[in-house]
Chains A and B, each alone.
Chain A
Amino acid sequence: MCSTAFQTLGRAQARALGNSALPIAVIPHPFGGRSREDVRKLAEQCIDDVVKLLTGEKT
């Protein structure tokens, strides 16, 4: 799971570690400057996808 700015890193690292098809949950960047309220909204938007990734369910 990463923000958009780190997607390239996540993808390259997955490839380097031999798992190029690794599903990665991506949230919009920037993340650090957001208010708690905004972070909560984002979390609510992506929680279902994250659960599916963790449980191996297809998104």
Chain B
Amino acid sequence: MSEYAVDHAAAFEVADDLDAINRLYREKHWSDGLPIVPPTAARIDRMLSHSLRARHDIVANVAPGFGAATVERIAINAVMAGCDPEYLPVLIAATEAVADPEFNLQGIQATTNPVAVWLVLNGPVSRKLQVNATFNCIGQGSWANATLGRAMRLILQNIGGAQPGEMDRATHGQPGKFTFCCAENEESHPWQPLHVERGYAATDSTVTVVGAEGTMNMNTHAKYADELARVIAETMVHPPSNEYVHGGEPWFILGSEHAEIFRREGWDKARVKRELWERSKMAVKHLSAKEIDRARASRTSELGELSEDTLLPISPAAEDVQLIVAGGPGTHSVYVPCFGNSRAVTRRIEGYRD
């Protein structure tokens, strides 16, 4: 049953002057540092017309401030980010997803780690909304990618209360904290797409939230599955990693040319995951002494006593390695190391209207 918020978003009057409005948002720390689209009553209503849920319905309480993310408040932040009104159901699903305890939003929002929330869209809605899954899909230039990711950040900051330097304690942060969103390229895909792998129908539309520490490009002209797996696995191995310390969930955006190499040699997705997991094991001795202590605290129950020569897997199981296929033509794939103490969460995008 839905829960309704009793305190509604405050309305205020301000001169009809974009510069003055942005000065106000800047002073109040309601922006991400870039100018916003003023969330006027008319724009909010237009956005809300694309939700089947009631205006004051609480979608989730967003850590660490535990502000009530009502449909209205999500819509306000979506307007500010420049979203088209049709995008609202995606953000409602994404807000539900980040609040799932598996995601550990409290940790993600308040940590010193640079972790950003990456949105991955699957299914027909991502194509209808033209969420880019090909050229430059995590770069600039696509309205849906740019504004959806930005709206997610504004929701996390304004409703969740994660203001940098206050409750957001990121030491450096990363550019992905402005916006980080793409779709999976389901048309140029040798295996099941992500949402089908996670139990949804191919005709469902979903958003998956990932606690992404950054992106590491891998440009390799490797021609064979074995050498491609080897160089990707060697990229994963880095001692100052939350994932090796805690047992994480590393993500990959495979370019379709690299995915095709695996397909051509008959490697299915499970095989790729297993090979990367096995080949990226790292001897404990590569960690600093402090990290060895932390890994012992985190992983002894999973792996038993850790000696200097114990081979640490990056995640508890090979299935924890996550792959999507996206990007344009080229010999590139992207390693997305993750926060470690988090698991990606997928939600169906409900109530999308054509």
Contact = CB atoms under 8 A, between A and B. Distances in A.
Nearest to B67: A16
B66 A17 contact: yes
Interface string A3-17: 001101100110011
Contact of A5 (B65, B66, B169, B290): B169
Given A6-B169, A32-B290, A12 B161 contact: yes
A8 B66 contact: no
B199 interface: no
B19 interface: no
Contacts of B67: 16
Contacts of B169: 5-6, 9
B110 interface: yes
Interface in B59-98: 64-67
A27 B166 CA distance: 18
A9 B110 contact: yes
B65 to A, nearest CB: 4
B290 A12 contact: no
Nearest to B171: A5
A34 B266 CA distance: 51
A17 B169 CA distance: 18
B290 A9 contact: no
B165 interface: yes
Given A9-B64, A9-B110, A32-B290, A16 B166 contact: no
A16 to B, nearest CB: 4
Interface in A1-45: 5-6, 8-9, 12-13, 16-17, 32
Interface residues of A, number: 9
Contact of B66 (A6, A16, A32): A16
A16 B161 contact: yes
A12 B65 contact: yes
Interface size class of B (residues with CB under 8 A): 10 to 19
Given A16-B64, A32-B290, A9 B166 contact: yes
Contacts of B37: none
B231 interface: no
B167 interface: yes
Interface in B120-166: 161, 165-166
B290 A13 contact: no
Nearest to A32: B290
Contacts of B110: 9, 13
Nearest to B66: A16
B182 to A, nearest CB: 31
A5 B170 CA distance: 11
Interface string B29-67: 000000000000000000000000000000000001111
A9 B161 CA distance: 10
A6 B161 CA distance: 15
Interface of A: 5-6, 8-9, 12-13, 16-17, 32
Given A9-B166, A12-B166, A32-B290, 20 more contacts: A5-B169, A6-B169, A8-B165, A8-B167, A9-B110, A9-B167, A9-B169, A12-B64, A12-B161, A12-B167, A13-B64, A13-B110, A13-B167, A16-B64, A16-B65, A16-B66, A16-B67, A16-B161, A16-B167, A17-B66
Q: Which 3 A-B pairs have the closest CB atoms?
A: A16-B65, A12-B167, A9-B167
14 contacts: A5-B169, A6-B169, A8-B165, A9-B64, A9-B166, A9-B167, A12-B65, A12-B161, A12-B167, A16-B64, A16-B65, A16-B161, A16-B167, A32-B290
